[in-house]
A and B are shown apart, each in its own frame.
Chain A
Amino acid sequence: NAGVTQNPKFQVLKTGQSMTLQCAQDMNHNSMYWYRQDPGMGLRLIYYSASEGTTDKGEVPNGYNVSRLNKREFSLRLESAAPSQTSVYFCASQNHAGGTSGGGETQYFGPGTRLLVL
């Protein structure tokens, strides 16, 4: 049981290049998330997918697109990378059961992808 895995671990891009960050979870969770972590700003939600077949914007979606390929996989794409997208990107998953917890289930995080855009 690997939990949440992310690829690649590190990437250097030039301004204007594109890339896709991969995320997969093997816990059969229905919700998946992409965050970016910047010094002094905590984690900010880029996009999320509450269930297979749905995606929604988070707090900082500009410059990104996502695909929920199936229940396991949720990818993040940078179409034209900019230096402002230099960050550490985390994927997370959650099995929200609804009902009495109201979303209080734990989110499980991947190891992160460090991206440098020159």
Chain B
Amino acid sequence: AQSVSQHNHHVILSEAASLELGCNYSYGGTVNLFWYVQYPGQHLQLLLKYFSGDPLVKGIKGFEAEFIKSKFSFNLRKPSVQWSDTAEYFCAVNVWADYKLSFGAGTTVTVRA
């Protein structure tokens, strides 16, 4: 199975700061890429995904991510975070036509008001 690395275990920010979470994967073929978010006490839900087309994808709540194939990366960004962005963020990858997801270890983001 491919591996997924998330660079930061825990990030602490102040409101209005910019956020960037790194994600790298190991598979060399065609992949689908996802960011999922788990708000405190809630289900995991999809933030955004990439499977073809424009490598810059936009998701909910002002998040975006850029797929850089040459770097095997899919970093998540938000220009100005809010307290409500406090959550755990997971990068996930699946190989094209394989319906299994591989998740990274997750990054806990704490936004201080």
Interface residues of A (CB under 8 A from B): 4, 31, 33, 35, 40-45, 48, 50, 58-59, 90, 92, 94, 96, 98, 100-104, 106-107, 109-112
Q: Are B94 and A103 in contact (CB under 8 A)?
A: yes
Selected from B1, B50, B97, B103, the residue in CB contact (under 8 A) with A103 is B97
Give the size of the chain B interface in residues (CB under 8 angstroms). Answer: 31
How distant is the Cα of A110 from the Cα of B95 in the complex, in angstroms? 23
Q: Are B45 and A50 in contact (CB under 8 A)?
A: no
Q: Are A42 and B99 in contact (CB under 8 A)?
A: no
Q: Are B98 and A43 in contact (CB under 8 A)?
A: no
**Which residues 4-35 of B have a CB within 8 angstroms of A?**
4, 6, 9, 30, 32, 34
Quick one: which of B4, B6, B30, B101 has the most chain A CB within 10 A?
B101
Q: Are A109 and B44 in contact (CB under 8 A)?
A: yes
